[in-house]
Structure 1
């Protein structure tokens, strides 16, 4: 279901139709464009996209398929179904060239059926009798004229006509020569044509000197045009022959129609194929113009687009040599509704229309300008509420028309619906408008519908949570240049930058001060918090990038270190192996020497002199071996290897997991606040944080470092004369609004307790706690804490226009 009727005009699809029409060659292709319609059938959409993608490849590769002479002969073929009818000669030539185009296209698809399988399917069942083309070639020449050889009789007639024309020219020239010689006409006068017959211009005074027929005279009456008597008979003969020629041509055309009549049904199918090819070529040409591609199509409601661009804005910027900011967006079961906020003229409505137009194009079988790795689903219902629907005839105001649209959305929405709403809730009294918008959005969310809305209302920005299927989106704004960046970031709300934009365009300072005084301070604080979030996020991203760089550098260094260690180990093993071999060789030589010495002693029966001589030989050999293996100083590599061997690479060990003790200083993981353990009970510890005591699970605690403990002790031992300065510092930095969204319950309560203490210290009597709506669990816990706190006089939810039950107002 598409709603409303003006859907295509509102999202800009009517302009896409115009572009398709411009890229069609024939009227029959444009008929397909007019019939182009939204589909919810996965198989049909997939087929259309594949056909267009294949044709896009054909055009980009310049494969040489015919892209002109797409003539539509279907009405002419229908006219010759009756005996005696015939094709007009000028349409005869259109039939010839268009059948050649069809034959070329069929041959191309047949030759490339494996490369372009989806287009090849279009030619199934199309058969054109080759005799038709041969018969046409026998009748018509390359210029589309009837050949003299089309029939024997036509050849005879045209031969007689040519002969009669030559005789006529000869006779007229003789008569003209006679007239010139007699002075009846000027010397430079030539024969001319009047009423299709050859005549001689004569002076009016001599018009009766030459026998013949007068066909015309000049405007002054001084010249008459005479057809000589002997030429009259020849011209009459030519006229008779031309009439006979026309009758013979008609006979040939009728005979050809009789020949063609049995093949008309097959030709009708072939021309439908040609019209569809024209339409697909137009879609492919448009996709090339838009740099479009086919995403991964899924048969369910889903959107995961990367680098998506508004096609019409892309063409406009391309013509001006400018770039366009692409859009990344995800809508799925856990994130169905996107709430876009941000400054005016910042691109919210363009983002909304981009999503609507691209999804509609896709379900019309058109390729879309986005990354081919994108995932695109199919929606059965498509609702849109954009622009002014005011109607004087129907007595409808702008807001009434919006409410009628919303009634339709709520009634027909289901999990296969995609709805788009621009400036949701605007057009009426802000408080009620915001309440109505919030109620409608919650109902659409309850029905599991998918959608994108744009708004400035704070209560709508507070609706999303991690569990309810809604998510915020912000249009970025350059706070330094004070101009929109037209870039969508999903995951957080955007600020309207109302006062900042007014300041940039030159509002007087006094007027701006008056605006700030009249505006709700809490709303301004909320806007300032959103702006500060943007600054903090950019700083965090910068630090994350630095950490990633350092991490990569550390990994590279570690890899080099490990490689060096491995190389040194290999060198060490090689040296030890070589030394072992040398030692074995020395032992072998020693054994041989000892055995030889013992043998000689035995042979000489242990003579004293001989024994002494042998001992000297052994000592001398030992000295030689010592000289051959001198002691080397350890090389630098060996020293490093030895050091590495002593101190191998160690992975960073987890922190000491020894049990906590009473009196030990600890802090909650991820927090900096220091407290001391006063009691241990099972897997929990009672921790004293200043004046607040909490039971916290042991796995959520970490031991405080020496530096943290020292800093804490120093803070509690400050001299009394610095207290006044501390209070002054707190007064300067204190913000009466605290944001605890995203914190765990224990973390939130610690921050709120300190926040209330600071407020009491500074004499602040009213503060605001921003905890969001979500499931309501955090709100309930905070209000239970406030109920038990003796310093709290009363508390209540914020006004619906300024956040409703997403913010608690506390009076101390």
Structure 2
């Protein structure tokens, strides 16, 4: 289900400028912004929390992205993220984001989980004489382990992810410090016995004394009666071993009271008999503490020596964690990294408002995608349409997606989306009326316009919602047109929404402006939330009012009051919209047909190429086989020649035999050569075409291709059938030369042709020749003798005769003519 959560702003209106700074991808990163950016940074900070970023809800996007970070370091960098106005810096940010996205998509994210925020410990370490506690040192050790693993992980893929590798070069592993902390502090944050030989000695002595003390107290406890002992256990109070004695039995035990229970019924007493052992234990404990302090001080000194490297590495880990967060956001919401357009043109393809996308995911609803091209020669886009149709959301989506891209964030849009980079962005969206400040809605708008006029420039994007409203429509339209004139003359890019008809005409009259509208389903009287660029839209106030229950007579009278021209203009807009929809549907239909035609054409061309290649291969194999036959025949001829010589045959006969074999061999070689070269030009042969024959002569096509692939060609005074594949198109028809048709007398032409023992190809050549001779001799009938046999030659010949242009009819022979062993042919 496609829907829209709101069409107008719901958070209160304000117009603020975002003066975008140049600097690192994340605020607070090592190095920070350039010194010369100080003034610019101050201007950004003034508007960052309550200005355009607030109106476009950039803060909500930062919070959403920050929730994907592993550490507070990454979250803080995302929350402090600011857009950049430098195209090179924006491209560098997006490059890093793109590489991190790819890492996540391939399932190879850097091992950032478990990053500890040790900044306070590092600050304490910087103070002379300070000593880090074991748990702090253990946290430093964990960070060092992540530094090493992350650097190694990215270094292994440095060719694929060069930007991330360059960033990871700021990580400084400290293997010696890492090993030393491991030897001295265990994972639970306790100093190990192995931290020093002296500490091991003291702890062994301390363990022995404690054991002796416990044995002595337990012996004493066992000797006391139940009337004195509250509970037979040994516990510790104020660092001393004590036993619980009933308050009434204190006289029976000599010792020092260290504590009592809340009820006063139990006293915790250190027996005097254990005092020497107690003191020895305490002495050893103090000695242990001093040695631990000495070990920790040494480790702190080691940390202090690499403090700059640790701080720099921590900054890089924070940046990588922030990159991981924004890439995780992109992966989770189907976002992509857009391209930076340096021509000042924004091309949104299947873009969706990020806040709506996040909100609708929870309910299973879908956000209608936005397609928009803006910038370049088009400096004003005026969006009209019905209330609650999505005009304001388009305005906010364009502004928010631009801010996200300039901050280096992936955006929910096609990867082919392009974003223009702006130095300033102004947004006048919503109502900032103040009763306390005595500011009307109109006055608030004008105040904001005044600031925009004074500060907007060529590299500025201005977003104006409901332009020209909150005052008299005529005066509001006039002020709006003058405001647009002023901004467009300064080269500012403006996207505005309105309901005023005069502004639609204004946009139509300017070459650098385009009207656009939010599509409205007139049958259902509901918005579709789709932006249509090129035509203004109607507000559909009358139709929506009727749907919401306003009496019909009220709506009818309203149309009368509005005047005929306005109604006709609205009707014209509706007709244009209907024509546009029909045109789009027709274009889509034709596009489908075109693609299908191209697919079929490519399919059939592929099949045709395959068939031709197969035919060429078959013929090539046949010619190769023929060449082999000729070689074998040549051997036979040579043997025959020897026999002829042996029989004293004439030299002339031998020479003639050899020449015949050579001619046949040359013909086969020429055909093989022709096959190995590029295929001849393919064209549709038609009667009258001038062609070049395989033997070099030129002729005219007088008969189309028959079923065997042969074409009838007039060459000089003769007509011959030649394979279509052996013909080439000639540039011009052959010169006409006088020739005489040879006279053929009926008595010289036999009416019977014996084809028995021939192959089909041989028989066809003979039949062609006899038909030509019969025509020249004015004969009208031929008898083809092919025999009965298997009937294969008979069937093929009759199929051929069906296609022959000079054959009127044919029939099997009668009983007295040879029956089915002959075919009688009637010639035209």
With structure 1 as the length reference, what TM-score do the two structures score?
0.69
Q: Which residue of 2 aligns with 1:185?
A: 229
Q: Which residue of 2 aligns with 1:2?
A: 18
The alpha-carbon deviation at position 114 of structure 1 amounts to 0.9
Q: Verify: 1:233 aligned to 2:276, yes or no.
A: yes
* Structure 1 segment 310-321 matched on structure 2, within 5 A: 310-321=353-364
Change (3 A) 1:571 1:318: farther
Q: Contact 1:297–1:377 (CA<8 Å) still a contact in 2?
A: yes
Change (3 A) 1:640 1:377: farther
Q: Contact 1:306–1:328 (CA<8 Å) still a contact in 2?
A: yes
The alpha-carbon deviation at position 546 of structure 1 amounts to 4.5
Q: Which residue of 1 aligns with 2:56?
A: 11
Q: Contact 1:569–1:641 (CA<8 Å) still a contact in 2?
A: no
Structure 2: 5+ residue stretches without partners: 1-16, 20-46, 612-682, 686-703, 712-720, 724-758, 771-781, 807-828
Pairing partner for 1:197 from 210, 232, 240: 240
Q: Which residue of 2 aligns with 1:223?
A: 266
* Structure 1 segment 486-505 matched on structure 2, within 5 A: 486-505=529-548
Pairing partner for 1:515 from 558, 563, 576: 558
Q: Which residue of 2 aligns with 1:695?
A: none
- What SS does structure 2 have at the residue aligned with 1:77? helix
The alpha-carbon deviation at position 391 of structure 1 amounts to 4.4
Q: Contact 1:300–1:378 (CA<8 Å) still a contact in 2?
A: no
User: Which of 303-312 and 437-446 deviates more?
Assistant: 437-446
Q: Contact 1:334–1:467 (CA<8 Å) still a contact in 2?
A: no
CA distance in 2 between partners of 1:292 and 1:390 (Å) = 36
Change (3 A) 1:302 1:264: same
CA distance in 1 between partners of 2:548 and 2:310 (Å) = 67
Q: Which residue of 2 aligns with 1:211?
A: 254
The alpha-carbon deviation at position 112 of structure 1 amounts to 1.1
The alpha-carbon deviation at position 547 of structure 1 amounts to 4.7
Q: Which residue of 2 aligns with 1:573?
A: 709
The alpha-carbon deviation at position 566 of structure 1 amounts to 7.8
The alpha-carbon deviation at position 238 of structure 1 amounts to 2.3
The alpha-carbon deviation at position 13 of structure 1 amounts to 0.5
Give aligned pairs, total.
610
CA distance in 2 between partners of 1:420 and 1:530 (Å) = 25
For the aligned residue pairs, the C-alpha RMSD in angstroms reads 3.5
Q: Which residue of 1 aligns with 2:111?
A: 66
Q: Verify: 1:163 aligned to 2:201, yes or no.
A: no
Structure 1: 5+ residue stretches without partners: 590-620, 643-812
The alpha-carbon deviation at position 539 of structure 1 amounts to 3.0
Change (3 A) 1:230 1:336: same
Q: Which residue of 2 aligns with 1:754?
A: none
* Structure 1 segment 57-456 matched on structure 2, within 5 A: 57-63=102-108, 65-81=110-126, 83-124=128-169, 126-180=171-225, 183-185=227-229, 189-391=232-434, 395-456=438-499
CA distance in 1 between partners of 2:64 and 2:153 (Å) = 27
- 1:609-650 CA deviation, whole Å, 9 max, x = no partner? xxxxxxxxxxxx9874688976978759976999xxxxxxxx
Change (3 A) 1:451 1:197: same
CA distance in 2 between partners of 1:341 and 1:641 (Å) = 72
Change (3 A) 1:55 1:160: same
Change (3 A) 1:202 1:553: closer
* Structure 1 segment 607-646 matched on structure 2, within 5 A: 624=785
CA distance in 1 between partners of 2:256 and 2:805 (Å) = 127
Change (3 A) 1:587 1:626: farther
- 1:517-555 CA deviation, whole Å, 9 max, x = no partner? 333332222222222332333333334445555666777
CA distance in 1 between partners of 2:556 and 2:321 (Å) = 63
- What SS does structure 2 have at the residue aligned with 1:87? coil
Pairing partner for 2:70 from 25, 33, 37: 25
Q: Contact 1:300–1:379 (CA<8 Å) still a contact in 2?
A: no
Change (3 A) 1:329 1:635: farther
The alpha-carbon deviation at position 557 of structure 1 amounts to 8.4
- 1:164-199 CA deviation, whole Å, 9 max, x = no partner? 22122212222222224x64236x643333334332
Q: Contact 1:342–1:493 (CA<8 Å) still a contact in 2?
A: yes
Change (3 A) 1:512 1:193: same
Q: Which residue of 2 aligns with 1:702?
A: none
- 1:453-509 CA deviation, whole Å, 9 max, x = no partner? 100000111223486111111111111221111111111111111111111111223
CA distance in 2 between partners of 1:443 and 1:368 (Å) = 32
User: Which of 391-400 and 62-71 deviates more?
Assistant: 391-400
CA distance in 2 between partners of 1:466 and 1:580 (Å) = 77
Change (3 A) 1:150 1:375: same
User: Which of 475-484 and 319-328 deviates more?
Assistant: 475-484
CA distance in 2 between partners of 1:626 and 1:150 (Å) = 114
CA distance in 2 between partners of 1:496 and 1:464 (Å) = 17
Change (3 A) 1:547 1:113: closer
CA distance in 2 between partners of 1:641 and 1:95 (Å) = 99
Change (3 A) 1:101 1:546: closer
The alpha-carbon deviation at position 210 of structure 1 amounts to 1.9
With structure 2 as the length reference, what TM-score do the two structures score?
0.68
Q: Contact 2:151–2:169 (CA<8 Å) still a contact in 1?
A: no
User: Which of 515-524 and 482-491 deviates more?
Assistant: 515-524
CA distance in 2 between partners of 1:220 and 1:561 (Å) = 102
